[in-house]
């Protein structure tokens, strides 16, 4: 074989390897990027109380089942490793904090929370660690029902949530932030799952 022929074969070999690596890295990328959110987890007793309210609303108005939570960072596209690392780093600079429920909002689908400095600062701190920019400013809330409701249903949900409101403890500590996989396209929420959880330092 002439020197040129060998060189030709060699460079096409390298070309194929490079191309395969390129395609492989693209496919890995597609596999690894997912939608992740950061949730503040409620204490166990509050979780139980909120679940009862959610079950009651859902039995009348439908919608998917989900774990009670307060979103701190909305859905953002990352690899799992990136997301886990960002959560650990963000929590490193945070302490356990308190939340207080203010009232049921006028759609009957969520409880609004008091925008206390610690709640808002925790949001801002996590947004900056995750490089997240929301379409609207951070609005701390606790969802109790998902799905589109007619005006009539909203009224009914609001009445019902207000009636059940008293069964929920209004102020509680947040000691855990969790990373959840939350694909916004998955309306049944079947793919939503907890990926990791970090306990916040307390004083």
Ligand X SMILES: *[C@@H]1O[C@H](CO)[C@@H](O)[C@H](O)[C@H]1NC(C)=O
Task: Point out the residues that are catalytic.
Answer: 69, 141
Position among 98, 162, 167, 191 found at the interface with ligand X (CB under 6 A):
98
30-68 as b/e, with b when 16 or more CB fall inside 10 Å? eeeebbbbbbbbbeeebeebbbebbebbbeebebeebbb
In the bound state with ligand X, the residue whose beta carbon lies nearer, of 119 and 161, is 119
CB of 126 to ligand X, least distance (A): 17
Count how many residues are written for the chain. Answer: 203
Pairwise CA distance, residues 49 & 55, whole Å: 10
Range 14-73, binding ligand X (CB under 6 A): none
CB of 64 to ligand X, least distance (A): 32
Q: Which is nearer to ligand X, 64 or 173 (CB)?
A: 173
| Sequential DSSP letters for 85-128 | HHHHHHHHT-B-EEEEEEEE-TTSSEEEE---HHHHHHHHHHHH
Nearer to ligand X, 98 or 199 (CB): 98
Q: Quick one: which of 84, 115, 146, 173 contacts ligand X (CB under 6 A)? A: 173
Contact pick of 34, 64, 84, 97 for ligand X (by CB under 6 A): 97
- By DSSP bridging, strand 110-113 and strand 97-104 are antiparallel
Taking the least distance from each CB to ligand X, the nearer of 187 and 201 is 201
Binding-site size for ligand X (CB under 6 A) equals: 3
> Which of helix, strand or coil describes residue 63?
coil
Beta bridge partners of 73: 38
**Minimum CB–partner distance for residue 116 and ligand X (Å):** 9
| 162 is a site residue for ligand X (CB under 6 A) | no
Show contacts with ligand X in window 110-149 (CB under 6 A): none
In the bound state with ligand X, the residue whose beta carbon lies nearer, of 11 and 98, is 98
Binding interface with ligand X (CB under 6 A)? 97-98, 173
């Amino acid at each position: 074989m002439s020197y040129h022929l060998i060189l030709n074969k060699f460079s096409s070999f390298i070309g194929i390897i490079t191309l395969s690596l390129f395609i492989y890295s693209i496919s890995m990328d597609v596999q690894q990027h997912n939608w992740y959110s950061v949730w503040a987890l409620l204490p166990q007793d509050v979780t139980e109380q909120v679940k009862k309210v959610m079950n009651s609303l859902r039995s009348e108005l439908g919608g998917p089942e989900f774990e009670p939570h307060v979103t701190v960072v909305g859905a953002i596209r990352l690899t799992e490793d990136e997301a886990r690392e960002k959560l650990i780093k963000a929590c490193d600079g945070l302490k356990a904090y308190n939340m207080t429920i203010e009232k049921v909002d006028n759609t009957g689908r969520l409880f609004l929370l008091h925008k206390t400095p610690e709640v808002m600062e925790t949001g801002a701190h996590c947004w900056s660690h995750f490089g997240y920019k929301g379409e609207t400013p951070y609005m701390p809330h606790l969802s109790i029902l998902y799905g589109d409701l007619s005006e009539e249903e909203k009224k009914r949900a609001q009445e019902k949530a207000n009636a059940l409101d008293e069964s929920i403890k209004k102020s509680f500590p947040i000691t855990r932030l969790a990373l959840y996989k939350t694909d916004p396209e998955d309306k049944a929420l079947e793919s939503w799952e907890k990926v990791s959880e970090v306990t916040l330092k307390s004083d």
